[in-house]
Amino acid sequence: MLGVCGGFQMLGRTVADPHRVESGGREDGLGLLPVATTLARKKTTRRVRARWLPAGPDFDAYEIHVGETVADAPGRPLLEVEGRAEGRVSEDGRVWGTYLHGLFESGAGRRRVLDWVRGATRPSTAHSRDHRALREAAYDRLADTLAACIDPRVLREFGGT
């Protein structure tokens, strides 16, 4: 099971809301990860460069969440961000949690998750394509096609210029 953002919080032991950001109080989580979350008043939003642990690959991601999730028992982090541990892996390795969005943007990242899902003990040698590069290339092809098919005068008339 993989929990991202609020899903990560729910996989932990507790979610506390002392500042009444959402509903107030404290709720039990699913208890699948040895973490506890305390919601904060301020939302964290930032782009980061992360690394899958223990040996990569690196990838670009972003955080957007309210609160802090901390380990309340020994265990291992899932990722590293700017030299700090991020996310958590259950003791049996079957549950992962992270605040980082963008895990599936790179081919290497998707491969890492798929290898985990299939229970691989070694990384796959399957070819991974870069999703972001494919998406940008598709946008470029679409723009080129539209530019070739639409009379610029029509666009100017439509736009009022």
Where in the sequence numbering do the catalytic residues fall?
5, 101
8 Å CB contact between 66 and 17: no
What does the alpha-carbon distance between residue 82 and residue 80 come to, in Å, rounded to a whole number?
A: 7
List the Cα angle 55/35/105 in 5-degree steps. 45
8 Å CB contact between 131 and 104: yes
Give the count of beta carbons closer than 10 Å to the beta carbon of residue 100. 23
What does the alpha-carbon distance between residue 131 and residue 154 come to, in Å, rounded to a whole number?
A: 34
8 Å CB contact between 102 and 83: no
